[in-house]
Structure 1
Amino acid sequence: MLRLRSCIAAASLSSPSASHVSPLHRLLSAAANATAPRISPNPSFAVEDYLVRTCGLTRAQALKASTKLSHLKSPSKPDAVLAFLAGLGLSTADVAAVVSKDPKLLCAGVEETLAPVVDGLTGLGLSHSEIARLVSLARQKFRQKSSISKLQYYLHLFRSSENLLRAMKFCDLLSHSLKRVVKPNVAFLRECGLGDYDIAKLCVSRPRMITTRPEHIQAMVACAENIGVPRYSGMFRHALHAVASFNEEEVSTRVDYLKSTFMWTDAEVGIAVSKAPNLLMKSKVMMQRRSEFFISEVGLEPAYIAHRPIMLTYSLEGRVRPRYYAVKFLTENGLLDYACDFYNTVMVSEKVFMKKFICPHKQAAPNLAEDYATACRGEVPARFSFT
């Protein structure tokens, strides 16, 4: 691999006018140098050994990959491909990962296939480092020129290359038909009131929403409406995000659990879920601990919580509990001359909370700031132990 990387350096430094040569031309030059005729002491080319020594595969990976490369009789074409990939910035580990998943990449023509694809992707605004990441994510689809037009569509949909590459970690977007699947799904989401920004945000974390069967996404929309979030509402994207991983029965089970855990009526659980659909994604253990704190310790009424469910989504240890302890300390020591609404103490930013509840009491309660910081780390100071 070091020899292959040196090809690239040699290609870019061999001429006084090298600084005026395009990056793609330097890649092609490096690959061309790697294909120069060579004399091998062993007339039989051992593919498996090549995969281990040159590509960095394990012996087991090489054995499996070699079955797809049995026709190779010379290292010239693989050498050219490896030089080209190195020029894009792929590390030895990256190359090993790519080749193990797509051994036939080593048989691709550099000038006929790889270079035109890279040229097309560069024309879409992708950098070489982004293209290198794409090689690992797209696998064999990277070698198909038709992928360029698909990526152009996805770049517009996801609004940035970073969003697209993040989505491709979770879903093989290039394997799905734009005409038959993706575009109809996107059009349907727009009909449901989602703008392009909402669709992009939704699909970065749930890319399979636009690659699933159209009837499946229609079922998800119906499920979101059934939990009390209508189309065109501001929470509709969040509701789709919440129900995307579950079927209708699982959603119903999770709604019932929330209802029993927080002692909500049917109307109250409907209000809570419609305002904070991501409650459906929280674990039972997490929700049980919040029920014990909000209802048993703080003494809040279930209806109060149902109308302010966003409180349940904040960190119990790092935010909610420390603030409750600090305000209770101030109240019990007569340092607050007004009643504080629990929701308001939870919702304000950390900067506002410090300014309003901690900093004004430095003289009367010199240890308050330290005790609050300790509570935020998950410990309970002695002064915050109330009987």
Structure 2
Amino acid sequence: MLHLRRCILTRLLSSPAASPIPFPLHRLISAAAPAVSPNPSFAVEDYLVGTCGLTRAQALKASTKISHLKSPSRPDAVLAFLTGLGLSGADVAALVAKDPLFLCAGVEKTLASNVAGLTDLGLSRTDIARLVSLAPHSFRCKSIVSNLPYYLSLFGSYENLLRVIKPNPGILNSSLEKVVKPNLAILRECGLGACHISKLCMLVPRLLNSKQERIQEMVACAEGLGVPRGSAMFRHVLHAVGFRSRETLAAKVDNLKKTLRWSDAEVGIALSKAPCLLVKSKDMLLLRTEFLFSEVGLQPAFIAHCPAMLNYSLEGRLKPRYYAVKFLKQNGLLKCDPSYYSVVAATEKAFVKKYICPHEEAAPHLAEDYVAACRGKLPANFIFT
């Protein structure tokens, strides 16, 4: 009978195209075979490979965490439960490799109970299966059912919640009262509203369940960069600061000063308008800066007051627009002398309407040349000597 039960499980888990099995399957399998007494010949590693579908290397690593298992009785029940949810063999293998202890969970008392609770909250069987795959460790905790409504309210939708869970599944079994809510209270004290807190936590999920001291340090770092609490850019600065160390942030600021020839005051001005500069790579900043200084002729102070231009694509926006406007100037087709920032800050539609379309007759190849320049090919008309 044990052999029959193992064959059933292996066949089910090895058939990704199979339709989801009704959830009570684990009860049928349990009823089909009596309780299995400890089997001294039961090899956990072989079970992980032969029944769960792990590679030998994965099984070797996972087996150390479940070496106490003496029979396949409990893991068989868990596998039947997962199959009943509709997980494929590949899904199950990935889950077990991620969280081997899931095979030791109680099906009736914990897993099935959580499914029932989540179903009552309105989640479909497919929703629950995705949740199990993303956060198997949290699914072994009963707190997942009581915590989920809070997170659904915070993020507005189940899809948004899944995006947060993927990099930080531990939030589902973190204490709401002792950890999550106090952390969010700190963000509210910084002047952030519910919508901004939600968006920030989606970008930096660790804000939800990190130590309060670490959140306070982030806030202090953001303020130290010259962006006051309550300002419109404060949440953006918190995102840029993230969980980087003070040493890393100091190095980032130092790089901005050296690359862009900014003073401390100019760095503060730039970061208050474009805090995302803190996450830009050194090479990216260097390439943009060299172009803006050497070809466009901008001064460091001007860039500090208009730092958004450093976020624009060098090849797809900064260069082609500069060359198109310079062509118009040299051919006497512009009556005004627009600032470079107004040129690159305009939307693509607005730029084309203002600087390309009006000159179709006087410069019939301008539109074609501009498109080529946006694709990284510099046309002859845009080469100036």
TM band (smaller chain): 0.7 to 0.9
Deviation string for 1:277-309 (max 9, x for gaps)? 111111111111111111211011222211111
1:27 aligns with 2:23: yes
What does residue 350 of structure 1 align with? 348
Deviation string for 1:253-273 (max 9, x for gaps)? 322321232222332221111
Contact 1:99 1:106 in 2 (8 A): yes
Deviation string for 1:218-249 (max 9, x for gaps)? 12111111111111110000011111232233
Using the TM superposition, give the Cα deviation of residue 56 of structure 1 relative to its aligned residue in structure 2, in angstroms. 0.9
**Inter-partner Cα distance in structure 2 for 1:117 and 1:180:** 22
Deviation string for 1:184-227 (max 9, x for gaps)? 11111111101111111111121112322212211211111111
Partner AA of 1:27 in structure 2? F
Using the TM superposition, give the Cα deviation of residue 2 of structure 1 relative to its aligned residue in structure 2, in angstroms. 7.2
**Inter-partner Cα distance in structure 2 for 1:113 and 1:200:** 30
> What SS does structure 1 have at the residue aligned with 2:62?
helix
Going from structure 1 to structure 2, the CA distance change for 1:259 and 1:90 (only over 3 Å counts) comes to same
What does residue 222 of structure 2 align with? 224
26, 32, 41: which one aligns with 1:37 = 32
**Inter-partner Cα distance in structure 2 for 1:187 and 1:264:** 35
What does residue 359 of structure 1 align with? 357
Of 46-55 and 297-306, more deviation after overlay is shown by: 46-55
**Inter-partner Cα distance in structure 2 for 1:123 and 1:314:** 47
**Inter-partner Cα distance in structure 2 for 1:298 and 1:227:** 29
**Inter-partner Cα distance in structure 2 for 1:11 and 1:147:** 23
What does residue 101 of structure 1 align with? 98
Partner AA of 1:376 in structure 2? C
What does residue 22 of structure 1 align with? none
1:51 aligns with 2:59: no
Using the TM superposition, give the Cα deviation of residue 45 of structure 1 relative to its aligned residue in structure 2, in angstroms. 4.8
Contact 2:218 2:243 in 1 (8 A): no
**Inter-partner Cα distance in structure 2 for 1:36 and 1:321:** 72
Q: Give the 5 Å matches for 1:1-387.
A: 3-4=11-12, 26-28=22-24, 30-37=25-32, 45-67=42-64, 68=66, 70-74=68-72, 77-171=74-168, 172-387=170-385
**Inter-partner Cα distance in structure 2 for 1:154 and 1:311:** 36
Deviation string for 1:95-149 (max 9, x for gaps)? 1011123223234343332222112223333333332232123222212111222
Identical-residue share of aligned pairs (%): 61
> What SS does structure 2 have at the residue aligned with 1:114?
helix
Contact 2:240 2:278 in 1 (8 A): yes
Partner AA of 1:343 in structure 2? Y
Unpaired segments ≥5 residues, structure 1: 13-25
**Inter-partner Cα distance in structure 1 for 2:312 and 2:303:** 13
**Inter-partner Cα distance in structure 1 for 2:154 and 2:271:** 29
**Inter-partner Cα distance in structure 2 for 1:349 and 1:197:** 26
Contact 2:147 2:173 in 1 (8 A): no
> What SS does structure 2 have at the residue aligned with 1:55?
coil
> What SS does structure 1 have at the residue aligned with 2:32?
coil
Going from structure 1 to structure 2, the CA distance change for 1:384 and 1:91 (only over 3 Å counts) comes to farther
Contact 2:144 2:173 in 1 (8 A): no
Contact 2:114 2:142 in 1 (8 A): yes
TM-score, L = length of structure 2:
0.87
**Inter-partner Cα distance in structure 2 for 1:11 and 1:197:** 38
- How many residues get paired? 369
Partner AA of 2:175 in structure 1? S
Contact 2:192 2:230 in 1 (8 A): yes
Partner AA of 1:188 in structure 2? I
**Inter-partner Cα distance in structure 1 for 2:105 and 2:219:** 43
Deviation string for 1:148-196 (max 9, x for gaps)? 2222222222222222222222222235332222211111111110111
Partner AA of 2:52 in structure 1? C
Of 277-286 and 152-161, more deviation after overlay is shown by: 152-161
Partner AA of 2:247 in structure 1? E
Unpaired segments ≥5 residues, structure 2: 1-8
Contact 1:185 1:217 in 2 (8 A): yes
Contact 2:288 2:314 in 1 (8 A): yes
Of 317-326 and 131-140, more deviation after overlay is shown by: 131-140
**Inter-partner Cα distance in structure 2 for 1:58 and 1:201:** 39
What does residue 15 of structure 1 align with? none
What does residue 5 of structure 2 align with? none
**Inter-partner Cα distance in structure 2 for 1:2 and 1:374:** 57
Partner AA of 2:146 in structure 1? S
**Inter-partner Cα distance in structure 1 for 2:337 and 2:105:** 72
Using the TM superposition, give the Cα deviation of residue 386 of structure 1 relative to its aligned residue in structure 2, in angstroms. 1.3
Using the TM superposition, give the Cα deviation of residue 10 of structure 1 relative to its aligned residue in structure 2, in angstroms. 9.3
> What SS does structure 2 have at the residue aligned with 1:35?
helix
TM-score, L = length of structure 1:
0.87
> What SS does structure 2 have at the residue aligned with 1:71?
coil
